[in-house]
Amino acid sequence: MFATPDVWLIRHGETEWTVSRRHTGLTNLPLTEAGEEQARALRGRLQVASFVRVFYSPLERAARTCDLAGYGPVAEVDRNLVEWNYGNYEGKRRPEILADRPDWIIFRDGCPNGESPADVAVRADRAISRIRTISGNVAVFSSSHFLRVFIARWLGLDPSAGRYFKLGTAAISVLGYDHNSASEPVIRLLNERPPSGF
């Protein structure tokens, strides 16, 4: 019987701005020392799967996580996987944004001079369309808000549904299909963190 492949989504490891809870879109930050340890800890967990293709966001934090997890030599960059462009909210903490817009939700409202949820969904849809042509398991290294929209779109949901899928640093999520049916997309695993205590 034909088995439908799985898509493993891996959020990058910790950066200075994830620690300080700043919105980190296109700012190209490196991993912290702890983030590098998180990325190395992914190696053993990911070895249980065999990937025919590995893709990563062009941002340093995703590329470095991919490399330290052991996939640098075989991985391919995909610009569709880049994190949400936060525009005027780049580098800001949520309380700062809420001070001006008390009811703001990124997955509904997007960011001024940045991307809307629909913009991010277009990129996610392009990545998903590409992945669905591949026979075999795929790994994707990217950032939190983008991956949350990716999950929503995989399930056929509006990008606003990304608000329901919380992802920690270096977290693994796995998407697939129920009953080996491409018409029944599911979440197999959500937000599994490395066993190193982070």
How many other CB atoms sit within 10 Å of the CB of residue 187? 15
Active site residue 179: no
Task: Tell me the C-alpha to C-alpha distance, in Å, between residue 139 and each of 4, 9, 163, 179.
Answer: 15, 6, 22, 21
Q: Of these residues, 37, 83, 90, 115, which one is catalytic? A: 83
Active site residue 12: yes
Q: List all residues 6 or more positions away from 41 whose beta carbon is below 8 Å from its beta carbon.
A: 170, 194, 195, 196, 198
Q: Of these residues, 12, 23, 36, 145, which one is catalytic? A: 12
Contact 167, 147 (CB under 8 A): yes
Distance CA 175, CA 115 (A): 25
The residues that are catalytic are: 12, 83
